[in-house]
């Protein structure tokens, strides 16, 4: 898609200027991590150009709704995606695909197609990586700032519940991320 670079530039500019500084987890480093993980899936699966483009746009925009606030950020982000993509003369099919990608990342995740499964797994890829402690501590800080939680004990309970309920969707993540996620769950439970 020839407009991709212009869309990417606009979205990154909006995110950099409008994401609240109180977001310690849902920040540019998270968005770029998800984008990079999606690119790894694109290469590994040799996705066709159109699908790759939709996935990249979905990755860049999956948390854009946070620029308008925390509540229903996926729905807000899906509306924002439509406005931005229409401005760049993107076709309706692509707009609907990107909106579906954004909405699929809402917790609990509910992907209904392969691209959505990839983005959902990319969004939570860190759950099964070595950098889980550092990244989860950023989420803890963000939740404390927003008064969602107050104590380490609350955070521990949330993590245990979340890790137990969470399921990866792609074969890659099931094989390469699930074992480490189970390791982190055991570590938290035994701490």
pLDDT per residue as tens digits for the range 112-171: 999 999 999 999 999 999 999 999 999 999 999 999 999 999 999 999 999 999 999 999
> Which residues constitute the domain of residue 159?
4-189
The number of distinct structural domains making up the chain is 1
Q: Provide the whole-model pTM.
A: 0.96
> Which residue, 83, 60, 74, 44, is CA-closest to 4?
60
CATH of the domain at 160: 1.10.3210.10
- 45 burial (CB, 10 Å; 0-12 / 13-18 / 19+) is middle
How close are the terminal C-alpha atoms of the chain, in Å? 49
């Amino acid at each position: 898609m020839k407009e991709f670079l212009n869309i990417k530039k606009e979205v990154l500019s909006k995110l950099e200027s409008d994401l609240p500084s109180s977001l310690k987890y849902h920040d540019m480093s998270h968005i770029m991590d998800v984008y990079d993980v999606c690119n790894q899936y694109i290469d590994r699966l040799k996705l066709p150009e159109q699908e790759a483009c939709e996935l990249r746009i979905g990755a860049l925009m999956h948390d854009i709704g946070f620029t308008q606030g925390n509540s229903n950020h996926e729905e807000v982000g899906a509306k924002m995606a439509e406005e931005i993509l229409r401005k760049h003369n993107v076709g309706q099919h692509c707009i609907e695909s990107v909106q579906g990608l954004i909405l699929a990342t809402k917790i609990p995740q509910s992907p209904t197609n392969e691209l959505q499964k990839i983005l959902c797994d990319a969004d939570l890829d860190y759950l099964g990586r070595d950098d889980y402690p550092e990244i989860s501590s950023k989420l803890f800080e963000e939740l404390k700032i927003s008064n969602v939680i107050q104590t380490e004990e609350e955070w521990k309970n949330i993590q245990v519940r979340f890790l137990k309920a969470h399921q990866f969707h792609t074969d890659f993540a099931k094989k390469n991320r699930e074992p480490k996620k189970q390791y982190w769950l055991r570590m938290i439970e035994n701490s």
